[in-house]
Structure 1
């Protein structure tokens, strides 16, 4: 199967200005995902899809190839699948074979070293159209209705934490999807293979200034390859 790695990164973040190239651990945020992909898949080119010249300059400096998206895909309402559909179109126009896309998000900069290899093996072994990273949500949660009554969803009042039925959340660390499914408008398909990643790096997702401080703490105090 022919894989291509894509890291979408638009300019103009509102909540954390310049977040895709803000420094984390001495290098720009997006560089973490580029270097991770290059180390894990040294024979593949890594493509950064962007509308921003500064992001493109940084990404090139760390060895990525650049795909410039049209201005119509540069707003904060543009969906990820629209960006990936544009990337597939670019591959076709440039005669680059792609059977499946590996999507890495710049805002999830830290990943365990084994993740990408395990994800590809799991994806190919599953026969599914897509794979996504998930992590256990070890919390008691529920809903508060309009009358201010709380309704637990995953536990009974008084139930011990260790007796909870496991629940999982999409952690954003990795996605792999068949090109045809992306053309059809899906990144996560109905038969998605859930790759469980219970690792401290899965808790890092950069969107606010405090997220960056937390990421720096994890980077300094935890080994990514554990």
Structure 2
């Protein structure tokens, strides 16, 4: 384990319009918030886990899973609130409460149910050991992206008049949304998660899934038996 404190912050507000009660929704029989906490606890380089929430039920589940909680104020818990602001608030609360300085902070999303401890360790190591300022999980992506416009669809990452083979195209990498690591001082100064040199930590594209709507939740539940290394239990 690294000697420098590494704090994992899991934002988990109570309000969710797409999937009501999303952060407590079970996947593989275990609430999403609990799955994220377990992944953080399994990461060797993480020294503390804090859940930032405005919801009493989420806070209770987080504490039952062994995480600390920080009460998120209302102005950081609305639909337009930024994850970075929740992380900064939780970071300050943790440092004040424990009388420590945390040089590296993580943002781990419980809406990515298949994030692993190894991925969390990898983004941490990119910052604590490899000299990156920030790091995030990414997965190879080979699709042709299109965007609708007033004159019809047009290619985003390709010229629609040219259809090169996959092996002839530059590799694109998809941000998975699962785990991010940041130098705390840089996050405070920049106010966003992608300052300085950003390391890209490759992950298995088969495990990439973000839960934004009921269909995503259904897919996660269907995949849990295949993607969970061992059955999880509450």
Normalization by structure 2: what TM-score?
0.87
Q: How does 1:29-68 map to 2 (within 5 A)?
A: 29-41=32-44, 44-68=47-71
Conserved in 2, the CA contact under 8 Å of 1:5 and 1:37?
yes
The unaligned stretches of length 5 or more in structure 1 are none
Instruction: Work out which of the residue numbers 191, 194, 199 in structure 1 matches 2:197.
Output: 191
Larger displacement relative to structure 2 (189-198 or 31-40): 189-198
Q: How does 1:144-163 map to 2 (within 5 A)?
A: 144-148=148-152, 150-151=154-155, 153-154=157-158, 157-163=162-168
Conserved in 1, the CA contact under 8 Å of 2:137 and 2:175?
yes
Aligned: 1:172 with 2:177: yes
**How many aligned positions are there?**
224
Normalization by structure 1: what TM-score?
0.90
Q: How does 1:65-214 map to 2 (within 5 A)?
A: 65-94=68-97, 95-148=99-152, 150-151=154-155, 153-154=157-158, 157-184=162-189, 185-202=191-208, 204-214=209-219
Alignment RMSD (CA, Å): 2.1
The unaligned stretches of length 5 or more in structure 2 are none
Aligned: 1:4 with 2:15: no
Larger displacement relative to structure 2 (148-157 or 10-19): 148-157
Q: Deviations over 1:45-72 (max 9, x none)?
A: 3110111101001111111111111122
